[in-house]
Amino acid sequence: MYSEKVMEHFKNPKNTGEIPDADGVGTVGNPICGDLMTMYIKVKDNRIADIKFKTFGCGAAIATSSMTTDMAKGKTLGEALKITRADVATSLGGLPPVKMHCSNLAADALHAAIRDYYKKQEAATEVKK
């Protein structure tokens, strides 16, 4: 059912875990639907210096989370925001059609984490003012 690349990331997912002092955190999905993921990012010089994820979900959910962190690591925030769900699926050698919508949420989680980072930055700037 899954491509070899998906199975590779499922078997040995990259960047799992939390970043306790993360600069941005994004959560998407819903355990009711069977998929929930949280992305943690550490930002340095406008680049994603570190990224980790936690995921509740199927094989595709775990593999897309892992692939997304791999793709985003080292990128500028602008570049990372351009990573789409389709890019993630393509990098994984495709996903079964039924999984394209329900389990391919990792790019959204990444974007949510970046937006969270921007929001925190704005808040910090406000305080300084």
Partner 1 sequence: MATTTKRANMDYAAGKPVDPRAIEAMLTYLKTSYGNPSSLHVAGQEAKRALDEARTRVAELINAEKTEAIVFTSGATESNNLGIKGAANRNKDRGTKIITSSVEHISVVNPVKFLTTKGFEAVFLPVDKFGSLDLGSLEKELNEKTTLVSIVYANGEIGTIEPIREISKIVHTKNAFLHVDATAAAGQVPIDVKALGIDLLTISSNDMYGPKGVGALYVKDGIRLEPILHGGGQEKGLRSGTENIPSIVAFGKAAEIAKQEMQINVKKLTNLRDKLIEGLLKPLPYTFLNGHPTNRLPDNVSIRYSFIEGESMLLNLEMNGVSASSGSACTSKTLEPSHVLLATGLKHEEAHGSIMFSLGRENRLEDVEYVIGLMPSIVNRLRAMSPLTPKELKQ
Catalytic residue positions, numbered: 33, 102
Which member of 98, 119, 121, 123 binds partner 1 (CB under 8 A)?
98
Tokens of 83: 């990573």
Tokens of 68: 């997304």
The reply to whether 26 sits near partner 1 by the rule CB under 8 A is no
- Residue closer to partner 1, measured from CB, 62 or 88: 62
Q: How many residues bind partner 1 (CB under 8 A)?
A: 29
Strand 24-30 relative to strand 47-56: parallel, antiparallel, unpaired?
unpaired
Which of the stretches 28-36, 69-77, 84-92, 116-124 binds partner 1 when contact is defined by CB under 8 A? 28-36
The Cβ-side half-sphere exposure at 30, using a 13 Å CA radius, reads 4
Q: If DSSP codes are grouped into helix, strand and coil, which group holds residue 64?
A: helix
The reply to whether 81 sits near partner 1 by the rule CB under 8 A is no
Which member of 23, 43, 51, 59 binds partner 1 (CB under 8 A)?
59
Q: How far is the CB of 79 from partner 1 (least distance, A)?
A: 26
The residue behind tokens 């980072």 is 117
Phi, psi angles (nearest 5°) of residue 106: -65, -35
